[in-house]
Structure 1
Amino acid sequence: MADNVKITPDSFKPANNQDNTQKEEIQAPSLTFFQDAVRRLKQNKVAVVAFWVLAVMILIALLAPVIAPHNPNTQNVNYANLPPKIGSGNIPGFTGKGEVAGVVSDRYAASGVPKGTYYILGTDYLGRDLLSRIIYGTRLSIFVAFAATMFDMIIGVPYGLISAWRGKFTDIVMQRIIEIISSVPNLIVAILMLLIFKPGLTSIIIAIGFTGWITMARLIRAETYQLQSEEYILAAQTLGESSLKIAFKHLIPNMSSVIIINTMMTIPTAIFFEAFLSYIGIGIPAPNASLGTLLSDGQKTFRFLPYQMWYPSAVIVLLMLAFNLLADGLRDAFDPKSSR
């Protein structure tokens, strides 16, 4: 059959160069590493929701002096332990009615609260507005967490870089120092800080930051060991670039994902540790409010006035959950292999 087929000049047609050019064009837009990571993060709906929840909570905390309906430290014993109330009190759970000696009554009328004055989340045992204290407490807890995580950037990143880059004897000495510091429990450090400094923000931030940078330093050290054998690092060394320039131009940008993810993991840990210190009474001193002190005060009256503990608990749970979910989303976005 093949012998009967005759090939003529008409059997050949010139190729259309324009069609081939269009087939070779890249249809998708060119994305950088961070743009691609953001694209993957947006596909994670849970992480996106967590991001917006955190954005709203942080914005409310920053605008606390404007948003808070009352001064969080103003006391009025006559208005002590008022239940939550909104407007005229027609919303279930926010009616302003409470039970005293088995009798349900309007606590606002019994306390002589002027008409039109109400407390959305009620008041505490000193008559202070609980909503205002929660807003200011959230603000303080977030500030402590972000301030403590700065130790990761200021100490952890340079420490890990120098340890791995210098290597040999320097690395051995620096790692032994980390092992000594990490062997001391955080609570012991916090108590020692309280003995040296007065109880307050300074002692808590130093206590959290004293050992908080160790994880970051170890991660940066491991990443530096992995990257320093890459060809572009060797090329930079061959061209005579200084170690400082290599660190800022090549190493740190390529470790940015590790830094971001670990920072996001550190923030909820710092918030929880601050709340724990305040809860056991060695944290933020009175009358300042933090989520830990609000939990401690609410726990004392939980049997009769559960709302004083439920609301601060809900805020700290929401903060911890949102930060952890966003951190998981960032980890999957910057390192897709980690989710497999």
Structure 2
Amino acid sequence: MGGTTGATAVDGERRQLVNVAYRLLGSATEAEDAVQDAYARWYGLPSGRREEIESPGAWLTTVTGRICLDLLGSARARRERYVGAWLPEPLPDRTEWDGAGQVVHVGGPAHPVGPARPADPADQIVLDESVAMAFLVVLESMTPAERVAFVLHDVFRYPFAEIADVLGRSPGACKQLAASARRRVGAAPAPVTAADRAEVVRHVKQAWESKDIAALVALLDPGAVMTADGGGMVGAVLRPVEGGAHIAQYMIAIADRAPGLELLERSVNGVPGLVARRDGIVMTVAAFDVADGRVTRIWAIRNPEKLRPWARQY
């Protein structure tokens, strides 16, 4: 491989690598850093060594996977020091914006957001069921090796022989890791259409805005759980709030303490969610899990560092 064509082909792997890294790390920023590191190592190779590599894409995937594996190992220690619960970084859906920088009408009035912003790594991430907040939270329960084996095989269909190069284990051992991870995922929940999810979220928004606690309780499963991530940088409940009635009371208390809070229906990681902003600043991005017409889980991300892709859009 040589010349501009070779460089273009290698750079064309970036989108796939960012998608893999985000699912492994749960952070678009860290995913981009991992991919940048992999490319730095690629271009740091002597040109003769690069030409010997038959599949640059496979080489970059292996290196990116190893970098992510190392980051996942160190992340466990970092998250033990994290203030409150750690949640994955939420992703906006750019299809909800037109080319002129306007919010496309999705359950609320459009608002100008100014000139186009620089490209963000989140723009490269494909929004599908493998980035839904519910799925990413399950991935967090896996060991680093399980997560790498499961994501590479079950999500991206890489063969175990290639995954073995990432993990430094035999293909058979990688197959066992993926099977163990699959058990953590458990049985697939009953499918819920996007329209049904959006309807439930819309009703939650309306009940929250009107401070109708009875309506909120009716929309929340009795065993619902709400987890908030403020990272110690903004106010957020440090432990999960359990029970539909308790969550409803907490939501009403938030509304009482934040006059002028504006709620927008927006896609969060490809699933209907809510964005709360005040004075034009995004304060919270909320993702929901829904079953049988009720909310079973709420993940509220408030850490400003995790809301940067949203701040650039709203």
TM-score tier after normalising by the smaller chain length: under 0.3
Structure (1 or 2) with the larger CA radius of gyration? 1
TM-score calculated relative to the size of structure 2: 0.24
The structure that is helix-richer by fraction is: 1
The structure that is strand-richer by fraction is: 2
